[in-house]
């Protein structure tokens, strides 16, 4: 039987580089305390010696876990599952691992999730769930970046929701619709997605378009949402017969449910309906009728969120960290994507 490969120790690295063990320890736990030249010498030695770092020992030694917590509202909406996919993909760039919780909408439960994350010594937190206020999130004393939720007291990366709504509504107007309809939840004004409602109504008024809002809780499962949207569809059918109806749906998951209802009702996608979703999550292109949508550039949002978070986490590892003095809110420009549910 072949003998086990000898593990390389700090003592081995010290002998190889002619540095002290204290200097080697500083390289791992406080690299900024060394000159760039000495950091490069030690880094080369690690390659030459085929050193494999003991991650657990490092966490125990300096309390830095290299873990980031993620708190999502759910994985039912395709937007959140794709956002999670894109956040996880940033490991290749930034090297941070993730611990993920999907929320329940219950404050106490999500607080338990957050305490669990903190107990694992996470270095930062990405939050998409709406349950815990940004003021409370800011009190945890770790870097926090939120996405598409209330963000007064923490850094955030959001889509320019107003511009996206303008793009969607303008496309429906170009499709010569007689009545424009927006289907959404009741959204508070401090939440970025509220601007989807505002952008829609502003453009309708600007173009003197007849419009209607359906704002209600649409449920948290496929069956619940399908029942709600079917009732909305029945109302639309009775209220606007013989007219061309342009429907802007707040996300692609709900837009896909509406498309399925239309297909079951008509046996095809009817010309009197035009539909635009929001997100460009995979379901939009994979639907039975590919859905025109407002692309949120989910990959870019995820990358920008992690980039902002990593910059904060790295700052805290410096000998003399400079506290952040201003909260950063970034907007990512959406991209209108035309598919088969609109004519133009």
Tell me the pLDDT tens digit for each residue of 267-321.
999 999 999 999 999 999 999 999 999 999 999 999 999 999 999 998 887 778 7
> How far apart, in whole angstroms, are the C-alpha atoms of residue 308 and residue 87?
13
CB atoms within 10 A of CB 327: 13
pLDDT at 263 over 70: yes
Q: How many angstroms separate the CA atoms of 315 and 293, rounded?
A: 38
- Asked whether residue 292 is assigned to any structural domain, the reply reads yes
Tell me: do 165 and 48 sit in the same domain: no
- CA-to-CA distance for 178 and 225, rounded, in angstroms? 26
Return the pLDDT at 43.
85
Mean pLDDT, range 308-335, rounded to an integer: 88
Do 169 and 291 sit in the same domain of this protein? yes
In this structure, what token pair is assigned to residue 275?
């539909």
- What is residue 60's predicted lDDT score, i.e. its pLDDT? 45
Q: Give me the mean pLDDT over the 23-36 stretch.
A: 82
Q: Is the pLDDT of residue 56 over 70?
A: no
Q: Are 42 and 84 in contact (CB under 8 A)?
A: no
Of 36, 53, 70, the residue that ends a domain is: 53
Tell me the H-state helices in the chain: 10-17, 21-29, 36-48, 55-62, 78-89, 91-94, 107-119, 134-138, 161-174, 194-206, 222-239, 252-266, 282-286, 298-316
- Supply the pLDDT for residue 151: 96
Whether the pLDDT of residue 337 is over 90: the answer is: yes
Total residue count of the chain as it appears in this document: 344
Task: Count structural domains, the chain.
Answer: 2
- What is the percent of the chain with per-residue pLDDT over 90, rounded to a whole number? 72
- Given 53, 70, 85, the domain boundary residue is 53
Residue 76: inside a domain, yes or no? no
Predicted confidence band of residue 2 (pLDDT cuts 50, 70, 90): very low
pLDDT > 70 in the chain, percent: 94
pLDDT at 121 over 90: no
- The residue range of the domain holding 25 is 10-53
Q: Is residue 124 part of a domain?
A: no
| Assigned domain for 127 exists | no
> Residue 285 has what pLDDT?
94
Residue 58 placed within a domain = no
* Nearest of 253, 324, 248 to residue 284 by alpha carbon: 253
Report, as an integer, the average pLDDT of 135-140.
93
As a whole number, mean pLDDT of residues 259-272 equals 95
244 falls in which pLDDT band (50, 70, 90)? very high
Phi and psi at 98, nearest 5°, equal -135, 145
> pLDDT tier at 5 (50, 70, 90 boundaries)?
low
Strand order of the sheet with strand 97-102?
Answer: 97-102, 67-72, 124-127, 144-147, 155-159, 329-332
- Position 3 scores a pLDDT of 42
Instruction: For helices 252-266 and 78-89, give the axis angle rounded to 10 degrees.
Output: 140
Token pair of 221 as six digits: 């499962």
- β-strands 155-159, 144-147 pairing: parallel
32 secondary structure, DSSP code: G
Average pLDDT over residues 179-207: 96
Is the pLDDT at 1 greater than 50? The verdict is no
**Inside any domain, residue 17:** yes
pLDDT value, residue 65: 65
Task: Let me know if residue 82 belongs to a domain.
Answer: no
Q: Whole-number mean pLDDT of the chain?
A: 90
Region 172-192: mean pLDDT is 96
The confidence band for 34, taking pLDDT boundaries of 50, 70 and 90, is confident
Q: What is the pTM of this model?
A: 0.81
Q: What is the mean pLDDT of residues 262-266?
A: 95
Q: Give the gyration radius of the chain's Cα atoms.
A: 25
Who wins on pLDDT, 73 or 6?
Answer: 73
User: Is residue 118 one of the residues assigned to a domain?
Assistant: no
**Residue 227: CATH number of its domain:** 3.40.50.2300
């Amino acid at each position: 039987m072949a003998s086990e490969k000898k593990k390389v120790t700090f003592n081995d690295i010290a002998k190889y580089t002619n540095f002290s063990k204290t200097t080697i320890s500083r390289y791992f736990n406080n690299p900024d305390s060394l000159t760039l030249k000495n950091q490069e010498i030690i880094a080369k030695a690690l390659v030459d010696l085929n050193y494999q770092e003991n991650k657990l020992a490092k966490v125990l030694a300096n309390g830095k876990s290299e873990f980031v917590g993620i708190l999502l509202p759910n994985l039912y909406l395709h937007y959140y599952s794709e956002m999670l996919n894109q956040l996880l993909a940033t490991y290749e760039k930034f090297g941070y691992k993730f611990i993920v919780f999907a929320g329940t909408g219950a404050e106490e439960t999500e607080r338990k999730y957050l305490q669990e994350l903190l107990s694992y010594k996470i270095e930062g937190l990405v939050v998409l769930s709406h349950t815990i206020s940004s003021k409370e999130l800011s009190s945890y004393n770790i870097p926090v970046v939120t996405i598409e939720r209330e963000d007064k007291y923490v850094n955030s990366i959001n889509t320019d929701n107003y511009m996206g709504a303008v793009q969607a509504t303008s496309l429906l107007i170009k499709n010569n619709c007689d009545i424009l309809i927006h289907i959404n939840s009741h959204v508070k004004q401090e939440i970025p997605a509220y601007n989807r409602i505002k952008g829609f109504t502003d453009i309708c008024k600007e173009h003197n378009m007849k419009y209607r809002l359906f704002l209600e809780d649409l449920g948290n499962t496929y069956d619940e949402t399908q029942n709600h949207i079917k009732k909305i569809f029945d109302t639309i059918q009775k209220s606007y017969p013989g007219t061309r109806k342009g429907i802007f749906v707040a996300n692609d998951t709900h837009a896909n449910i509406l498309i399925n209802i239309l297909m079951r009702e008509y046996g095809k996608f009817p010309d009197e309906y035009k539909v635009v979703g929001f997100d460009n999550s995979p379901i939009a292109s994979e639907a039975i009728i590919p859905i025109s949508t407002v692309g949120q550039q989910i990959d870019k949002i995820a990358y920008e969120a992690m980039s902002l978070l990593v910059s904060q986490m790295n700052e805290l590892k410096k000998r003399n960290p400079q506290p952040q003095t201003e909260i950063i809110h970034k907007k990512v420009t959406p991209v209108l994507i035309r598919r088969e549910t609109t004519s133009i």
